Amino acid sequence: KHSFNIAVIAGDGIGKEVMPEGLRVLDAAARRFGIALHYKHIEWSSCDYHAVHGKMMPDDWKAQLAGVDAIYFGAVGWPDAVPDHISLWGSILKFRREFDQYINLRPARLFEGVPCPLANRKPGDIDFMIVRENTEGEYSSVGGVMYEGTEREVVMQQSVFSRHGTDRLLKFAFELARKRERKHLTVATKSNGIAVSMPWWDGRAAEIAAGYPDVRWDKQHIDILSARFVLQPQRFDVVAASNLFGDILSDLGPACTGTLGLAPSANLNPERRFPSLFEPVHGSAPDIYGKNIANPVGMIWSGALMLDFIDQSGTVGRQAHDAILAAIEQVLAEGPRTPDLGGSASTTEMGKAIAAAV
Amino acid sequence: KHSFNIAVIAGDGIGKEVMPEGLRVLDAAARRFGIALHYKHIEWSSCDYHAVHGKMMPDDWKAQLAGVDAIYFGAVGWPDAVPDHISLWGSILKFRREFDQYINLRPARLFEGVPCPLANRKPGDIDFMIVRENTEGEYSSVGGVMYEGTEREVVMQQSVFSRHGTDRLLKFAFELARKRERKHLTVATKSNGIAVSMPWWDGRAAEIAAGYPDVRWDKQHIDILSARFVLQPQRFDVVAASNLFGDILSDLGPACTGTLGLAPSANLNPERRFPSLFEPVHGSAPDIYGKNIANPVGMIWSGALMLDFIDQSGTVGRQAHDAILAAIEQVLAEGPRTPDLGGSASTTEMGKAIAAAV
Ligand SMILES: CC(C)[C@H](C(=O)O)[C@@H](O)C(=O)O
Ligand SMILES: CC(C)[C@H](C(=O)O)[C@@H](O)C(=O)O
């Protein structure tokens, strides 16, 4: 009954190291809650597939993913093998766009046992959710170079915002805020400097907000908003942001909670017309790859988000999610912990401990 | 001999409160170092000029500023009076662009006596300089709306980077890094996501870098770079960034040193074909205006940067700069301090103390 098909793409670098721990914990949760998970392991990465075929994925990648309920994704990118923008536009950014995963949900939460880089903050002070637009805006491949290769060279990079794309993002964020205790939404903007798109974006926010009188909301320029993540993180509940602003805030937010290694993300197509994708916020981290010291929590937490999303009954998936979160909390507080958290455990040890706690 | 004409524009909100303290300290330094400063007070602001004339400045604003050596600027913007993007494009952004102030120099430094929002950081751990491109890039008014007012609405916002504009920014940043002790430059980018302009920007950085073999440099994506401001601020020396990325980093950097109220900026036309402009990083802060509690240090420090820049002899201006900085350091350590620093002094008291220490 609760049976799901999951495409598993470990990718490059530490993606290969954290993925086994993600699967270990998923399996533990699946056993406990009577969920059947069928994995389809796929090796699309810069170092493997691209190295052989000169591209990140086969041409029939969509067909190969037809019928999966979700994609569980590690990380891609290996600059020595393929330039970053090629590996990413050929993989993760392609999924986001072609599977219309227009919501990128990224929680930031301070846990017991995790050394916080901010002074005098305790668990509970930082607990917010970033809702990032994931398909358009500043991430576009539209643009070009004029007078190429000369002194007069000019480069144009188009940001493209559609009403359709902006409204659905804002609505999702308002809906989410409405369901939370504090019912507060902050909308990131930069309408004082980016003169065409951002005043328009503010207008969309104001119009959508009118439909949510029960949600308190404000808009903040991205510069001061970033500063406030550091100075007043307790002030945030849900934060809605464009693709680029959401990218920045969703590294900065988790950094304020101690380490990017914890941060999960859910790339959602809420209508379920296409598979959604779950991945840690961190990248392939060539600098620490091969040592088995990467923090597996971002991967594991992403798995929890996945179970919650794919189970539409709202029962076992939710329960499995909560159990994994509780296990993460327990292991963060009691250890074993990886070196980024001040511990000396390996990726595997930490993954096993979390699986055991589930 | 050392005689300069300064246009003084206090602007809106707390600009009006911190400006008198900026002038008080400038006067003290001028007296001590034998510098004659001639002020031309100009009331161009949202609440004054715009309220009467329906625009931020008279049409002959350039003529009125002809012959000044520098502009000493408070803050503009008063959302209740004029939409932000109108007040700013009619004032500060216009100066930056039309006076070709293509360098925006913004130091971030942690001082003794200032409570740091980051855990376990001491003065010396944070001391870097942001070199922000100030005339082009993401801040453009080029773009427009298609299918306006309909469900199909699409907004295009052009970012425009010229080789001329990018190279001169990068060269300035490399030159600055070369003069500093650590000789390290970080170039902000986002070439993995912003697919046209940013890979090109990386290419420019690599080409310019070849001329500075004595400077160690690296490039970092803006998302992880923001995270590192919080996690490893000691790692930065000089940071070169596009207009938008520099805007974000130069609020975030000072936030990590305790308060935006300290942060100064120099909007430079290094060739001195046009006047340069010196202003605090903070804005007009409607929420605290009228209470005489704004921190005057950003304004005062900006004045120090101004004296240093306008005196081409490199003697008295430099000395006055250093004396003001020493006075700021002393008062931050010993008080009186404004409420944002945990003190209870007024703007005026803090300004007077710094002037006395000069
Ligand atoms: C007021 C605004 C347009 C301005 C900017 O974004 O440049 C300000 O934030 C700054 O940093 O000077
Ligand atoms: C790898 C990169 C293209 C990606 C992004 O910018 O979206 C990453 O930083 C993320 O946040 O998922």
For residue A1, the model assigns a pLDDT of 76
Tens digit of each residue's pLDDT (9 = 90 or more) over A109-127? 999 999 999 999 999 999 9
In the stretch 84-143 of chain A, residues with CB closer than 8 A to chain B read: 84-85, 88-89, 93, 115-120, 138-143
What confidence score (pLDDT) does residue A79 get?
A: 87
**Closest chain B residue by Cα to residue A83:** B192
Inter-residue contact B160 to A154 (CB < 8 Å): yes
- Single out the residue of A3, A11, A89 nearest to residue A49, CA to CA: A11
Per-residue pLDDT, B79: 87
Looking at chain A, the number of H-run helices and the number of E-run strands are 12, 12
Contact A325, A272 (CB under 8 A): no
Q: Do A193 and B77 touch (CB under 8 A)?
A: no
What is the whole-number distance in angstroms between the Cα of residue A193 and the centre of ligand 1?
A: 6
As to burial, measured by CB atoms within 10 angstroms (0-12 exposed, 13-18 middle, 19+ buried), residue A130 is: buried
The CB-side HSE value for B199 (13 A sphere, CA atoms) comes to 18
CB contact under 8 A, A196 and B142: yes
CA-closest residue to ligand 1 atom 4: A193
**pLDDT score at A160:** 98
Q: Do A118 and B118 touch (CB under 8 A)?
A: yes
E strands along chain A, which residues? Answer: 3-11, 36-41, 70-75, 103-109, 127-133, 143-146, 154-162, 184-189, 216-221, 238-241, 264-268, 276-280
Asked if A19 and A8 count as a contact pair (C-beta separation under 8 A), the reply is: yes
Q: Per the omega criterion (within 30 degrees of 0), is the bond before A83 cis?
A: no
Any A CB within 8 A of B146 CB: no
Question: At residue B59, what are phi and psi to the nearest 5 degrees?
Answer: -65, -30
User: Do the bridges between strand A103-109 and strand A264-268 make them parallel or antiparallel, or are there none, so unpaired?
Assistant: antiparallel
What's the pLDDT score for residue A130?
98
Q: Taking Cα atoms as reference points, which of A218, A236, A217 lies closest to residue A126?
A: A236
State the DSSP code for A137.
Answer: B
| B223·A155 Cβ contact <8 A | no
The conformation of residue B197, written as its DSSP 8-state character, comes to H
* CA–CA dist A249, A251 (Å, integer): 5
Residues present in chain B in total: 358
Cα-to-centroid distance, B193 and ligand 2 (Å): 6
A322 and chain B: CB distance < 8 Å anywhere? Answer: no
Does residue B1 surpass a pLDDT of 80?
Answer: no
Report the separation in Å between the CA atom of B63 and the middle of ligand 2, taken as the mean of its atom positions.
Answer: 47
Distance CA A283, CA A253 (A): 16
Inter-chain touch A226–B223, beta carbons under 8 Å = no
What does the pLDDT read at residue A123? 94
pLDDT band for position B77 (cuts 50, 70, 90): very high
Lookup: tokens for A140: 């576009």
Q: Which residues have CB under 8 Å from B109's CB, separation 6+?
A: B123, B126, B127, B128, B257
CA angle A284, A285, A289 (to 5 degrees): 95
Q: Check pLDDT > 90 for residue B244.
A: yes
Residue whose CA lies nearest to ligand 2 atom number 6: B193
pLDDT for the residue B220: 97
Question: Average of pLDDT values for A300-328?
Answer: 97
Helix B243-256 with A222-231: angle, nearest 10 deg? 20
Which of ligand 2's atoms lies nearest the C-alpha of B224?
9
How far B314 CA lies from chain A's nearest CA (Å)?
33
The partner residues of B218 in beta bridges, in order of sequence, read B186
- Whether A3 is in the pocket of ligand 1, judged by its Cβ within 6 Å, is no
* B84 vs B170, residue with greater confidence: B170
Vertex A148 angle, CA A143 and A151, to 5°: 125
A with B: how many residue pairs have Cβ under 8 Å apart?
A: 215
From the list B141, B199, B243, the residue facing A85 with the nearest CB is B199
Q: Summarize the confidence of residues A31-54 as an average pLDDT.
A: 95
pLDDT at A83 over 90: no
Q: Say how far apart CA B253 and CA B265 lie, in whole Å.
A: 13
| Contact yes or no for A85 and B153 at CB 8 A | no
Question: How long, in residues, is chain A?
Answer: 358
C-beta atoms surrounding B288 within 10 Å: 20
**Dihedral, CA of residue A109, residue A114, residue A117 and residue A121, to nearest 10:** 60
Rounded mean pLDDT, B80-107: 94
Neighbours of A51 (CB within 10 A): 12
Q: What amino acid is encoded at B137 in this protein? A: G
> At B111, is the pLDDT very low, low, confident or very high (cuts 50, 70, 90)?
very high
- CB of A144 within 6 A of ligand 1: the answer is no
Q: Residue B86's pLDDT is what?
A: 87
Q: pLDDT tens digits, residue range A215-231? A: 999 999 999 999 999 99
Residue A102 has a pLDDT of 98
- Tell me phi and psi for residue A183, to 5 degrees: 50, 50
Higher pLDDT, B86 or A187: A187
Mean pLDDT within B57-61: 96
Q: Where are the alpha helices (DSSP H) in chain B?
A: 15-33, 51-53, 61-64, 84-89, 92-98, 163-179, 197-209, 222-231, 243-256, 297-310, 316-334, 347-357
- Domains along chain A? 1-105+257-358 (3.40.718.10), 127-145+154-255 (3.40.50)
Which spans in B232-312 are helix H? 243-256, 297-310
Which one of the ligands is nearest to A106 CA?
2
pLDDT > 90 in chain A, percent: 97
Atom in ligand 2 nearest the alpha carbon of residue B193: 3
Q: In this predicted structure, what is the pLDDT of residue A148?
A: 94
pTM: 0.97
In this prediction, residues A252-281 reach a mean pLDDT of: 97
A161, β-bridge pairs: B155
Amino acid letter for position B272: R
Report d(CA A277, CA A74) in Å as an integer.
10
Write out pLDDT tens, residues B125-143: 999 999 999 999 999 889 9
Instruction: Answer whether B208's CB lies under 8 Å from B171's CB.
Output: yes
Residues lining ligand 2, Cβ inside 6 A: A 88, 93, 247, 281, 283; B 192-193, 223
C-alpha separations of B241 from B106, B165, B168 in Å:
11, 12, 12
Give residue B248's pLDDT: 98
Strand, coil or helix: B156: strand
What is d(CA B101, CA B97) in angstroms, rounded to the nearest whole number?
6
For chain A, the average pLDDT equals 96
Q: What is the mean pLDDT of chain B?
A: 96
Residue A347: what residue type? T
Region of A132 please: left (phi>0), alpha (psi -120 to 50) or beta. beta
Strand partners, B216: B184
The SS3 call for residue B327 is helix
Note whether B36 and B1 are within 8 A (CB).
Answer: no
Interface check B265 vs A, CB under 8 A? no
What is the arithmetic mean of pLDDT over A193-197?
Answer: 94
Q: What is the bridge-based pairing of β-strands B216-221 and B264-268? A: unpaired
DSSP B137: B
Interval A73-83 mean pLDDT: 92
Dist. CA B121–CA A164, nearest whole Å = 45
pLDDT tens string A267-300: 999 999 999 999 999 999 999 999 999 999 999 9
CB-based contact (8 Å) between A206 and chain B?
A: no
Q: What is the pLDDT of residues B274-304, one digit of tens each?
A: 999 999 999 999 999 999 999 999 999 999 9
Instruction: Return the closest-CA partner of residue B43 out of B29, B63, B58, B59.
Output: B58
- Residue B154 structure tokens: 């699409």
